[in-house]
A and B are shown apart, each in its own frame.
Chain A
Amino acid sequence: GNSVTQMEGPVTLSEEAFLTINCTYTATGYPSLFWYVQYPGEGLQLLLKATKADDKGSNKGFEATYRKETTSFHLEKGSVQVSDSAVYFCALSTGDDKIIFGKGTRLHILP
């Protein structure tokens, strides 16, 4: 079945550091890929998405590239801020199917 595996946290970085959160997936067909973010005390919200191979999703300085050959969708940001502290979820959907989430990676940014 479809599944998502992402790196376990927590990840702790200093402000302005480079961020990578790894995500790999298993899916039949051609899934859409997502990163969702959950800030403290708030609901899940979509951060970025990519719907086909080699697409790059980007938002708020975050980027992720859909790599079909490595079945990966790693999240990156060049310079993190304290306000980026949150839990990040990688997810996939095959269109007619439900959205499958990874377990989440908690990110702490130190000032």
Chain B
Amino acid sequence: GENVEQHPSTLSVQEGDSAVIKCTYSDSASNYFPWYKQELGKGPQLIIDIRSNVGEKKDQRIAVTLNKTAKHFSLHITETQPEDSAVYFCAANFGNEKLTFGTGTRLTIIP
């Protein structure tokens, strides 16, 4: 079946430290893996995505790595800032017309 597992469900990090969120997916046919950030009272906002032909992608303080063999991908946030506090969702596309989301990680940056 189409399943995405996300860990941890909550994460507290000291400001300036790095945060890592991990997701695993069930189907090797998956080809697209976006990450969304959701702030309180707002909609999910795409922050970075990666496709199956790439192992790593970086955008300033944010990076995503993909291990197709192990069927997992991770979000890395370096030099965390208070405004990084939010709920983060990973997602995967299983070759159909929808995104299947992970269960979310509530990230809190401690000043």
The answer to whether A binds B is no
- Interface residues, chain A, CB within 8 Å of chain B? none
